[in-house]
Amino acid sequence: MILLHVESVRKMTKRSLFIAGTDTNAGKTFITSALLRKFSKIAQSVAVIKPIQTGCFDGDGELVAPDMSFYETFSGGLKNVSFFCFEKFKAACAPSLAARLEGKTIDVDGLMDKIRRIIDGNDVVLVEGAGGLMVPIGAHNATMIVDLIASLRIPVVLVAPNRVGTINHVALSVSELQRRGIQVAGIILNQLSEIKDVERLFLDGNLTEIQSIYHEINCFSMPHLDTSADNFFEKLDAITQKICIPRQQTAIPNLESSVKFDHEHLLHPYDNLKNSLPVQVIESASGVELKTADGETLIDGISSWWCAIHGYNNARLNRAMEEQLQNVAHVMFAGLTHDPAIKLGEQLLCMVPPGLTKIFYSDSGSISVEVALKMAVQWARGQGFENKQKFFALRGGYHGDTAWAMSVCDPEEGMHKRFGRILPRQIFLPRPCVKFNQSINFAAEWARYEPFFEEHGREIAGFILEPIAQCAGGFWFYSPEYLTLFRELCNGYDILLIADEIATGFGRTGKLLACDWANIVPDIMCLGKGLTGGYMTLAATLTTDAVISGISKDGPLMHGPTFMANPLACAVARESMKIISEGTWYENTKRIEVFFKEAFLPLGKFHSVRDVRVLGSMGVVEMAQVVDQQAFQKHCVANNVWLRAFENFIYVMPAYVISNEHLETLAKAIYLWIENSEKQGL
Ligand code: PMP
């Protein structure tokens, strides 16, 4: 009970604020220190972070950050406060320049990780910027506002020196912040020096003017205080007492009506309209954390259906899109081309197996599958194989929700049941039964599959499969040797092998592409999901010169979506692929795999668990019975995690950047669910 109480008090006090200046020498450190005193009286732990400090001086063999001593003096030995400074430089100038003068660059992603960890571990965290909002802080033109403030997604307290020109500086800063959706929680005009009576009129006027422009933001004036006066701290505390900074802006007043509108008018994926599941209203997201409108934080274990592989609100992806937005958001791709499509293409060709040389961009995974199937049929026509109009697909497979894609999904478990009559009839081969880490008996498996080729080969244009890992069809991981077998069989019967890497691509299985486990080159490959790091919808169908020259004999490839190669999507995809090519996904996937094995394999001991499977950054617990999705969702939200079960499966497919602490929270929520199911004898 006591624990619960402490927890609810923590939730009430928990908040983070970014203290930003309209300019350098605005008095941010003074205000931060004043707020530090204020919050230390109501919260159990308060941390102040000065991520970057320039103008440091030598002291006892290490650089001393002047703001640290300021905080220390102001906190006067309070026990519940701590201070952090991560990047210290001597020159008193812009951070990126100060770093460059010492031959260094600031690792902005590293900084973000450190800040987030401190935010997680404290009730109140104050992060003090350096200089104004647009100061450059790192490589790739990183700035304070884009790369720290917007990425952290915490409200800003804007500090401005109260003088002539302040209104302009405040207005510029507020509009930059609001343009990026950052909440301005307060504006503090700081009287840096004693004012003469003649100035009072217009300096007081500044506050009134700013208040009338931003009536929705709390504005304060901090008078000049004599720091050497005996009662300085008493006076300061009395003033800061009056400063009221609202919590993170939430849609709470409108929340009920928003949810009602959603419930009544918006359709959600695979939704039962008569009995739709409750929805969470997400206000913002950062890293692997989703912030709900009612102020909760949910750790996302499924990276928005496996696509947000670099985490949300990634500074590099944000910047790539913002930069492209300044050029052009969209142009048609017929008769026109552009740099983002070309650069992304160059990048992709370095990543896929050699031989895949032609790229068709489309708008979603399902459409890329439609394009792949069209390619195969047109190729067959071009080759004179008029009868080759059907496809082989695997039982347990899933390839999308459009009509032709549905026709190659599992015919019983998939959507055939409902659309069976209108969907083209395809030929389904048995699901590969040998597990991922086992060897197949090649001759026996050949004998199992070859009769299908023998019987239907003449009517089959392509064989579509999810290499190694069948995902939405039941998270089944099979031996890579099947890929070699299927490649050989397809070669022998003039059938194109189509690898649907939409879910498995870009590191999910522990290799860059799942086909790499067997070193096979498919004739056609579909890519999607993580391609844009989950930022925009974009997919690609890649194929070989041979297939394209076959198609050409039939005429042009008959597909051309309006949003083909959308420049915004291509630009963000290019950055996402750059991040992948830098290789950190590899270490992360290994780390996540080790974690999943330790956390999930022991769950096999429970009666309610039928099987546990782990591959790369995919952890799957197959339950003996269908999981009650609604109850599971409620349980997850109550445990501050975001997971979705389907049928018997509870699974985790997180962003690669997820920390082990976050993984632990996810694993704990799953453990509690299973323990509970066990108690109820499910
Ligand atoms: N193929 C596979 C293997 C998939 O997992 C999915 C999506 N889950 C698709 C195709 C369809 O992609 P989209 O939802 O982008 O249409």
pLDDT band at 153 (very low <50, low <70, confident <90, very high): confident
Distances (CA, A) of 26 to 73, 133, 515: 19, 12, 56
Note whether 237 and 282 are same-domain residues.
no
Pair 220, 175 in one domain: yes
Is 3 a member of any domain? no
Dist. CA 365 → ligand 1 center (Å): 5
Please, which residues have CB within 8 angstroms of residue 520's CB and are 6 or more apart in sequence?
Answer: 353, 483, 484, 487, 497
- Where among 246, 273, 300 does a domain terminate? 246
How far is the centre of ligand 1, averaged over its atoms, from the C-alpha of 361 (Å)? 15
Maximum C-alpha span of the chain: 99
- Rounded to 5°, the CA angle 380-382-386 comes to 50
User: For residues 483 and 270, which has the higher predicted lDDT (pLDDT)?
Assistant: 483
Give the sheet arrangement for strand 219-222, strand by strand: 81-88, 46-53, 124-128, 15-21, 156-161, 184-190, 219-222
Asked whether residue 191 is assigned to any structural domain, the reply reads yes
Q: Quick check: 75 and 81 in contact, CB under 8 A? A: yes
Distance of CA 335 to the CA centre of its chain: 34
- Which residue has tokens 């039928």? 610
Specify the amino acid at residue 543: T
Same domain for 282 and 397?
no
Q: Provide the residue range defining the domain that includes 293.
A: 257-312+585-680
286 vs 582: CA distance, rounded Å: 21
Domain shared by 30 and 147, yes or no: yes
pLDDT at 551 over 90: yes
Higher pLDDT, 146 or 226: 226
CATH number at residue 221: 3.40.50.300
- In a shared domain, residues 378 and 518: yes
Q: pLDDT tens digits, residue range 65-83?
A: 999 988 989 888 788 999 9
Residue 222 lies in a domain: yes
My answer on whether 160 and 69 are in the same domain is: yes
For position 195, what pLDDT does the model report? 78
Write out the two tokens for 480: 């890579």
Question: How many angstroms separate the CA atoms of 116 and 43, rounded?
Answer: 18
Answer yes or no: is 1 within a domain: no
270 is catalytic: yes
Residues 343-361 have pLDDT tens digits of 999 999 999 999 999 999 9
Q: How many domains does the chain have?
A: 3
Same domain, 276 and 337: no
Residues 377 and 396 in one domain: yes
Asked if residue 251 belongs to a domain, the reply is no
**Where does the pLDDT of residue 529 fall: very low under 50, low under 70, confident under 90, or very high at 90 and above?**
very high
Q: Which of 14, 511, 529, 656 is catalytic?
A: 529
pLDDT at 8: 44
CATH of residue 449:
3.40.640.10
Q: Would you say residue 556 has pLDDT above 80?
A: yes
| In a shared domain, residues 403 and 533 | yes
529 catalytic? Reply is yes
Distance 652 CA to ligand 1 centre (A): 17
Find the radius of gyration of the CA atoms of the chain. Answer: 29
Task: State the pLDDT confidence band at 479, using cuts at 50, 70 and 90.
Answer: very high
Count CB atoms within 10 A of the CB of residue 571. 30
Instruction: Render the burial of 223-258: b for 16+ CB within 10 Å, e for the rest.
Output: eebeeeeeeebeebeeebeebebeebebeeeeeeee
**Is the same domain home to 127 and 102?**
yes
Per the listing, tokens 């290994």 go with 590
598-616 pLDDT per residue, tens: 999 999 999 999 999 999 9
Of 211, 226, 246, the one marking the end of a domain is 246
671 is catalytic: no
Say what the pLDDT of residue 445 is: 98
Q: Per the residue annotation, which of 109, 300, 500, 523 is the catalytic one? A: 500
As a whole number, mean pLDDT of residues 562-576 equals: 98
Report d(CA 551, CA 539) in Å as an integer. Answer: 20
- In a domain, residue 11? The reply is no
Instruction: Out of 113, 270, 553, 628, pick the active-site residue.
Output: 270
Please identify, by atom number, the ligand 1 atom nearest to the C-alpha of residue 364.
15
Q: How far is the CA of 358 from the centre of ligand 1 (A)?
A: 21
Is-contact 460 493, C-beta < 8 A?
A: yes
Specify the CATH number for the domain of residue 593: 3.90.1150.10
* Ligand 1 atom 2, closest CA: 399
Q: Chain-wide mean pLDDT for the chain?
A: 91
Helix (H) or strand (E) holding 549: helix 545-554
Model confidence at 312: pLDDT above 90: yes
The set of protein residues with a Cβ atom below 6 angstroms from ligand 1 is 364-366, 369, 398-400, 466, 471-472, 500, 502-503, 528
Cα-to-centroid distance, 302 and ligand 1 (Å) = 14
* Closest residue CA from atom 9 of ligand 1: 400
Tell me: do 568 and 591 sit in the same domain. Answer: no
| Three-point CA angle 71, 73, 76, nearest 5° | 105
Q: Is residue 41 part of a domain?
A: yes
Domain boundary among 581, 602, 632: 581
Q: Answer yes or no: is pLDDT of 417 > 50.
A: yes
Domain contains 447? yes
- What atom of ligand 1 comes closest to residue 528's alpha carbon? 15
Q: Which of 402, 502, 537 to mutate to test the pocket of ligand 1 (most atoms within 8 A of CB)?
A: 502
Q: Please indicate, yes or no, whether residues 572 and 432 belong to a single structural domain of this protein.
A: yes
